[in-house]
Chains A and B, each alone.
Chain A
Amino acid sequence: MSIKEIQAEIVDEFSLFDDWMQRYEYMIALGKSLPLIEEQYKIDRNLIKGCQSKVWVHAEMKDGKVVFTADSDAIITKGIIAILLRTLSNQSPKDVLEADMHYIDEIGLKEHLSPTRANGLVSMIKQLKLYALAFETQKNNMP
């Protein structure tokens, strides 16, 4: 599925909820299903700065796609990463780089995040795109 299709699917899922509580309960459930990072990658070098909770992200290339795994010590944060990873993992670096992330607004997430937390979200997106940029640059520099 393309990034746009997955985003539409997520927006659809979130539109079913009547209130914030259902939305957060769903996010907490998503957090529990996050593709967990391997213990060896849960190191300071993989920490994302700017989040109140700890967030580790690892990225690798598999068959031309970026595969992200992540973890956090806070469950709501894990839910947010799970949504981001569902959209951006297993996509080509170019598609990750070009992805429009405005669906975050549509699912009513950003408005419920305080500035410091929103910064965490922004940092996460930035970090995922930086990984994609690194892989894309690497590919283009190959002979």
Chain B
Amino acid sequence: MLQNWAYNSVLIYKNSHMKPLEKENIFDIQKIRSDFPILKRKVNGYPLVYLDNAASSQKPQVVIDAIVDYYSNYNANIHRGVHALSQEATDAYERSRNKIQKHLNAAKPYEIIFTSGTTHSINLVANGFTTLLKTGDEIIVSALEHHSNIVPWQMLCERTGAVLKVIPMNETGELVLEAYEKMLSDKTKLVFCNHISNALGTINPINQIIQKAHEAGAAVLIDGAQACAHLKPDVQVLDVDFYVASAHKMCGPTGVGLLYGKEKWLRKLPPYQGGGEMIAEVTFEKTTYADLPHKFEAGTPNICGDIVFGTAIDYLNQIGFDKIAAYENSLLETATRKLLEIEGLRIYGTSKQKTSVISFNLEGIHPYDVGTILDQLGIAVRTGHHCTQPIMDYYKIPGTVRASFSFYNTFEEIDRLVEAVKKAKQMLQ
């Protein structure tokens, strides 16, 4: 099991038969909501109920202010200017990298690479493995993956002649580990799995997945895009080779992400893109690459976004991931219980280990119709296949309605959701 505090708190909570935690026992929800200006909005005449957090989180005022502060006070290109602004921007940029390092407990700051997001991070690794794989090698991915996690590996297989294998899932939305263990062999070079499924909310047993892969001599890349909003991974405890995430799901800006890689792996992988910043010396005969992390950060990065990513992480840590996990689990439990009281409502993904994501359908009603009515009532949910068609195919459904909760959602909003689903059912039946 994960040694991580936040994760353990989820388990402790899940495995006990405690009364759902009352919101006031955890934190002052109204104070937290007041940090997010967008939550005051009305949509279609109703106060906004934002339940599409798994797609993107909202941003607190400190994050918005940090963006304004950067462009107002110290906007400059980094790492090459001798002037004061460039130095200030460079310092802030590297401070942000250090914050992320500390947050993930990476051994070295240069094991953190800034990217444009999870997809970019995954492609960087997939591209790097082109030179490390040969025909007949095997890559294992899980059945719970987002399309962005399937396609780069298919492309890698096309380039190298490697073979893609898939860890199957079961009815509850959990991975079948026995099948995974049978799949592993000395041919396995890379295992890829999300920490938490975006479509179903399942928390995957990545500890076991990583350990078994290492026993077979394979490297592991974990996609933490969904996880990092809910828990604080410790990359050294996990002993993971690569871990990736996006800022925008963690109260940070869009277009920003991270790649953690163990130093030995980052040294082994070739650069992804050529450009400025990533070179040591250039002549027309030969170029030598810059050291880590700059080798992977070609061109002028999203300086502002990368700096503000650090601000967002500070904000989340100030609230505390232990509190976030406890509160969100309380929301999940309440919403699950209340939604299941609606006749004909089925929840997809019923693992005991899951985060605050509820994917559901009303019997005989298309998720798109439900989503349209909920939108009319000011409730933002996601409908569709959530870029996980293989999961939808497994359940033989066109998609689901997905309500995903964050620490700034309230128990009153759950009631609004439940009432709106009832209304949709009545209208659409």
Smallest CB–CB gap between A119 and chain B, Å?
Answer: 13
Q: In the bound complex, do residue B368 and residue A28 qualify as a contact, i.e. CB atoms below 8 Å apart?
A: no
Contacts of A53 in B (CB 8 A): 366, 368-369, 398
Contacts of B349 in A (CB 8 A): none
Q: Mark A88-122, 1 if CB is under 8 A from B, else 0.
A: 00000000000000000000000010100100000
Q: In the bound complex, do residue A112 and residue B376 qualify as a contact, i.e. CB atoms below 8 Å apart?
A: yes
Smallest CB–CB gap between B289 and chain A, Å?
Answer: 41
Q: In the bound complex, do residue B427 and residue A28 qualify as a contact, i.e. CB atoms below 8 Å apart?
A: yes
Smallest CB–CB gap between A106 and chain B, Å?
Answer: 19
Q: In the bound complex, do residue B376 and residue A74 qualify as a contact, i.e. CB atoms below 8 Å apart?
A: no
Residues of B within 8 Å of A, CB-based: how many?
15
Nearest residue, chain B, Cβ from A53: B368
- Determine if A41 is an interface residue (Cβ-Cβ < 8 Å): no
Nearest residue, chain B, Cβ from A113: B372
Q: In the bound complex, do residue B376 and residue A52 qualify as a contact, i.e. CB atoms below 8 Å apart?
A: no
Q: In the bound complex, do residue B368 and residue A52 qualify as a contact, i.e. CB atoms below 8 Å apart?
A: yes
Contact of A20 among B366, B376, B383, B399 (CB under 8 A): B376
- Mark out the residues of chain B between 344 and 388 whose CB falls within 8 Å of any chain A CB in the assembled complex: 365-366, 368-369, 372-373, 375-376, 383-384
- Determine if B428 is an interface residue (Cβ-Cβ < 8 Å): yes
A52 in contact with B427 given A75-B369, A76-B369 (CB within 8 Å): no
- Determine if A60 is an interface residue (Cβ-Cβ < 8 Å): no
- Assembly CA distance A53 to B398 (angstroms): 8
Contacts of A77 in B (CB 8 A): 366, 368-369
- Mark out the residues of chain A between 9 and 35 whose CB falls within 8 Å of any chain B CB in the assembled complex: 20-21, 24-25, 28
- Determine if B170 is an interface residue (Cβ-Cβ < 8 Å): no
Q: In the bound complex, do residue B372 and residue A117 qualify as a contact, i.e. CB atoms below 8 Å apart?
A: yes
- Assembly CA distance A51 to B368 (angstroms): 10
Contact of A25 among B366, B383, B427 (CB under 8 A): B427
Nearest residue, chain B, Cβ from A79: B369
- Assembly CA distance A54 to B383 (angstroms): 14
Q: In the bound complex, do residue B373 and residue A24 qualify as a contact, i.e. CB atoms below 8 Å apart?
A: yes
Q: Mark A74-90, 1 if CB is under 8 A from B, else 0.
A: 11110000000000000
- Assembly CA distance A28 to B427 (angstroms): 8
Contacts of B398 in A (CB 8 A): 53-54, 73
Q: In the bound complex, do residue B376 and residue A24 qualify as a contact, i.e. CB atoms below 8 Å apart?
A: yes
Q: In the bound complex, do residue B428 and residue A28 qualify as a contact, i.e. CB atoms below 8 Å apart?
A: yes
Most buried by A among B368, B376, B398: B368
- Determine if B44 is an interface residue (Cβ-Cβ < 8 Å): yes
- Assembly CA distance A117 to B375 (angstroms): 12
A24 in contact with B384 given A74-B368, A76-B372, A117-B372 (CB within 8 Å): no
Nearest residue, chain A, Cβ from B399: A52
Smallest CB–CB gap between B49 and chain A, Å?
Answer: 16
- Assembly CA distance A114 to B379 (angstroms): 13
Contacts of A73 in B (CB 8 A): 366, 398
Smallest CB–CB gap between A81 and chain B, Å?
Answer: 13
Q: Mark B405-427, 1 if CB is under 8 A from A, else 0.
A: 00000000000000000000001
Q: In the bound complex, do residue A52 and residue B369 qualify as a contact, i.e. CB atoms below 8 Å apart?
A: no
- Mark out the residues of chain B between 30 and 88 whose CB falls within 8 Å of any chain A CB in the assembled complex: 44
- Assembly CA distance A100 to B384 (angstroms): 31
Q: In the bound complex, do residue A74 and residue B44 qualify as a contact, i.e. CB atoms below 8 Å apart?
A: no
- Assembly CA distance A28 to B429 (angstroms): 10
Smallest CB–CB gap between A74 and chain B, Å?
Answer: 4
Residues of chain A touching chain B, judged by Cβ–Cβ distance below 8 Å, are 20-21, 24-25, 28, 52-54, 73-77, 112, 114, 117
Sample (29) of A-B pairs whose CB atoms are under 8 Å apart: A20-B44, A20-B376, A21-B376, A21-B427, A24-B373, A24-B376, A24-B427, A25-B427, A52-B368, A52-B383, A52-B399, A53-B366, A53-B368, A53-B398, A54-B398, A73-B366, A74-B368, A75-B365, A75-B366, A75-B369, A75-B428, A76-B372, A77-B366, A77-B368, A77-B369, A112-B375, A112-B376, A117-B368, A117-B372
